[in-house]
Copies of this chain bind each other. A is one copy, B any other.
């Protein structure tokens, strides 16, 4: 393992878990916390995980990134709905260089980070993770956990070397991680799941299990998967055809799970519909292609999101983020 130091921006179900795994192995990890700051500073982090439970008593907790040292790797684990905060949060830990690893859902989600530090310093990654923050400083990781990441923008050798080091760190820490040479494929492959299952779980008020077990809903999920697959191809991103049925088969075998978007909706938080649906729609449109059912899903979610926020009045703490 390296001597890399890590910053975790958004220490919820995702950032909190991965950060704690790294810290457990001895990496110097700095956590940005919001509502849990006092609790974690005093009591540490409690992780229940399918990879083994553990407690981290001595946590480098920060209420602001201003108190963080310069870090080699800054992990962005916020919801994309909070990306407007990145221009404030990223400069401090990246002030002497270092790279950013954006572990967010959607397409081109790295752009906001790249605008702060420059494109050549950013990795993006997808997490296949079922994890929830169930209490203050308390993370429950119930299934999966794999990360696949790659370079954002033009690939270069220096970043390839850094990516390899991060990959080694994560794997040493027990996190199933893969460093890919094609981030676009990784992103679109994940969208083939996120668009239908995050989207329909809200639009139909259904669990993944309810969707795959109903003929009409499952057919619609399949249609959406095919649209995304074809949309990726229209953008020049070739994903093998087998991925279509694998996505459905895999979901049929998943433990019943509330998608992150459904949890956000039920808790009246803003949903990640821009990064997960609107950005891919715009991307394919540039190539003269359309995804009508994906577009309809986006229109429906936009309506439901607006109604949900009206009912709520304002938003709450965004730390509690399962990431699938």
Q: Is the CB of B214 within 8 A of A306?
A: yes
Q: Across the interface, which residues of B come within 8 angstroms of A293, CB to CB?
A: 292-293, 295-296
Given contacts A223-B296, A293-B292, A293-B296, contact A306 B216 (CB under 8 A): yes
Tell whether A117 is near chain B: CB-to-CB under 8 Å. no
Contact B216 A302 (CB under 8 A): yes
Assembly CA distance A291 to B307 (angstroms): 27
Point out the residues of chain B lying under 8 angstroms from A223, CB to CB: 295-296, 299
Q: Which 6 A-B pairs have the closest CB atoms?
A: A216-B302, A292-B292, A220-B299, A217-B303, A216-B299, A293-B296
Task: Give the contacting residue for A303; candidates B206, B295, B296, B304; CB below 8 A.
Answer: B206
Interface presence of A300 (CB below 8 A)? yes
**How many copies of this chain?**
2
Q: State in angstroms the CA–CA spacing of A204 and B298 once bound together.
A: 12
26 A–B contacts from the bound complex (CB under 8 Å):
A203-B300, A204-B300, A204-B303, A204-B304, A206-B303, A206-B307, A210-B307, A214-B303, A214-B306, A214-B307, A216-B299, A216-B303, A216-B306, A217-B299, A217-B302, A217-B303, A220-B299, A220-B300, A223-B295, A292-B292, A292-B293, A293-B293, A293-B295, A293-B296, A296-B296, A296-B297
- 4 more A-B residue pairs beyond the given contacts A216-B302, A216-B303, A217-B302, with a C-beta to C-beta distance below 8 A: A216-B298, A223-B295, A223-B296, A293-B293
Q: Which A residues contact B (CB, under 8 angstroms)?
A: 203-204, 206, 210-211, 214-217, 219-220, 223, 292-293, 295-300, 302-304, 306-307
A293 to B227, CA, bound (A): 13
Contacts of A296 in B (CB 8 A): 220, 223, 292-293, 296-297
